[in-house]
Amino acid sequence: MPKETIVGSENKGDCRVRLTPADSLAIEIHTSNPDLFAPGIEAVVTETLAGLGVTQAKVEITEQGSLDYVIAARVEAAARTLFPDLPPLRPQVARSPSDRDRLRRTRLYAPGNNPRLLVGIELHGADCVLLDLEDSVPPAEKHAARVLVKHLLATVDFLEVWVRINPLATYGTDDLGEVMLARPHGICLPKAESAEDVKGLADELSRLETELGFEEGSTMIMPIIETGKGVLHAEEIATADPRVAVIAFGAEDYTRDVGAKRTQESLLFPRSQIVAAAATAGIQASDTVYANLEDEEGLIAETRHIRDLGFTGKGVINPRQIGPIHSVFSPSPEEIAAAERIVAAAAEAEKQGIGAIAIGGKMIDKPVLERARRTLRLAGKIKEGVE
């Protein structure tokens, strides 16, 4: 047994938990204002340890404005490192289901092991939030991060939340085992290169869903295509499993993989390939992130470009990118009016039992009707928020 374990940090919003074996339970709390906070913090620590069945340990906790779920996560991660046989906590989760065809103009990335950046992540108006255990978490912090993400998932009501796990060949299986306890809407699979990658994840999800008593098939998959091989296999990836609701593009890794410079031209082929694959599978395509936070004009220009290519959403690394992207995806009043005419004509045709829809003698195809419906959904959605 290791002599001690330390999890977390003394950064704002976080706490550092130091756990050492002891004959009984001893809790030492360092906080900015012990008069106000110490009893509440102690209650969280005590309950977490009781839930895990730990009765013998010395806990030293140094906190910097951390919320209860952060403290609970740090304590759990520390306890399970010190006592590796402990089973993970399974929190109560009341997750409202999400519609796999819902709008996903933005997917907001948040680093899975930085409590400060996770506070209020659900409040920024992104269509979905993506909690990351992969690129933004160094290997030494993977365990603490997946425990933190689990506790966050159990605490906060998300409109729609995904977890980006590591590839199954590295830490991905452990990631899944932990975060599925708190039932995210979907799992994001990085570096997807084949149908087998997706099927591997789907099998693992089926196993966990059954074990945890969730409806089988209820967890969605979003493969991220970010290699040359993945781009060439986009169609088989998109159609590999009915769980796949979105395929996303990761340009940074892609350009590195193929030796390209990131330009609109160099990304045109992978982007078009991904959009075509998504259309084949009848799912959504979501573009890569735009890394330069300061360049709002560039972000808007790129979003227009990918919208015109056929993407229905884009990755976001900072909440301030949400507003500009949503405005690009907002239909204009003219587009809304045209869509309303088409949908009304379709309704009329159905009422009269006519198969073909026509406006002013011009026939309306099914894809045009679908696009009109989508436009109206976009318009309706946008009225709800300020972004």
Partner 1 sequence: MKNALGREIPDRIGDRTLRPFQGAFATTPTGRKAARPQKTVRPGENKVLRSIEEAIEATGLKSGMTISFHHSFRNGDYLVNMVVDACARMGIGDLRLFPTALFPIHAPLIEHIKAGVVTRIEGSMNGPVGAFVSKGGALKQPAVLRSHGGRWRAIEAGDVHIDVAFIAAPQADPYGNATGIKGKTPCGPISFSTVDAQYADKTVVVTNDLAPYPVHPFEIQQGWTDYVVVVDEIGDPESIASGTLRITRSPTRLRIARLAAAAVKASGYLKDGFSFQGGAGGISLAATKFVGEEMEKEGIVGSFAMGGGTKLLVDILHRGLVRTILDGQAFDLDAIASLREDENHVLMDPGHYANYDSRGCSTYMLDAAFLGATEVDLDFNVNVNTHSDGQLLHGIGGHQEVAAGAKLTLITVPTLRGRLPVIVDRVTTVTTPGEVIDAIVTERGIAVNPRREDLRERFVAAGLPVRELAEIKKEADRLTRPPRKPIFGDEVIALIEWRDGTVIDTVRKVIGWK
Minimum CB–partner distance for residue 40 and partner 1 (Å): 3
- Interhelix angle 366-384/333-351, rounded to 10 degrees, is 130
Pairing of strands 220-225, 186-189: parallel
- Whose Cβ is closer to partner 1: residue 66's or residue 227's? 66
Minimum CB–partner distance for residue 12 and partner 1 (Å): 7
Minimum CB–partner distance for residue 382 and partner 1 (Å): 9
Under the rule (CB under 8 A), what is the footprint of partner 1?
12-13, 31-33, 35-37, 39-41, 43-44, 63-69, 119-120, 123-124, 155, 318-320, 323, 383-386
Q: What single string gives the DSSP state of each residue in 8-60?
A: E-SSTT-EEEEEE--SSEEEEEE-S-HHHHHHHHHHHHHHHHHHHT--SEEEE
Q: Which residue has the tokens 């290997």?
A: 139
Q: Give SS3 for 92.
A: coil
- Whose Cβ is closer to partner 1: residue 124's or residue 142's? 124
Residues 6+ apart with CB under 8 A from 96: 157
Minimum CB–partner distance for residue 213 and partner 1 (Å): 25
Q: What residue ranges in 196-265 does DSSP mark as E strands?
A: 220-225, 246-249
Minimum CB–partner distance for residue 307 and partner 1 (Å): 22
- Whose Cβ is closer to partner 1: residue 112's or residue 167's? 112
Residue 102 to residues 29, 105, 160, 201, 381: CA-CA distances in angstroms?
Answer: 45, 9, 10, 22, 10
- Whose Cβ is closer to partner 1: residue 118's or residue 274's? 118
Q: What single string gives the DSSP state of each residue in 127-176?
A: SEEEEESSTTS-GGGHHHHHHHHHHHHHHS--SSEEEE---IIIIIHHHH
- Whose Cβ is closer to partner 1: residue 33's or residue 352's? 33
- Whose Cβ is closer to partner 1: residue 256's or residue 320's? 320
- Whose Cβ is closer to partner 1: residue 13's or residue 177's? 13
Q: 3-class secondary structure for 339-360? A: HHHHHHHHHHHHHCCCCCEEEC
DSSP state of 112: T
- Whose Cβ is closer to partner 1: residue 36's or residue 268's? 36
Minimum CB–partner distance for residue 60 and partner 1 (Å): 18
AA identity, residue 116: R
- Whose Cβ is closer to partner 1: residue 253's or residue 387's? 387
83 within 8 A of 55, measured Cβ to Cβ: no
Minimum CB–partner distance for residue 39 and partner 1 (Å): 6
d(CA 54, CA 372): 58
75 within 8 A of 142, measured Cβ to Cβ: no
Minimum CB–partner distance for residue 183 and partner 1 (Å): 18
Minimum CB–partner distance for residue 159 and partner 1 (Å): 13
AA identity, residue 256: R
Residue 345 pairs in a beta bridge with none
- Whose Cβ is closer to partner 1: residue 69's or residue 158's? 69
Pairing of strands 57-63, 15-20: antiparallel
109 within 8 A of 290, measured Cβ to Cβ: no
Minimum CB–partner distance for residue 172 and partner 1 (Å): 28
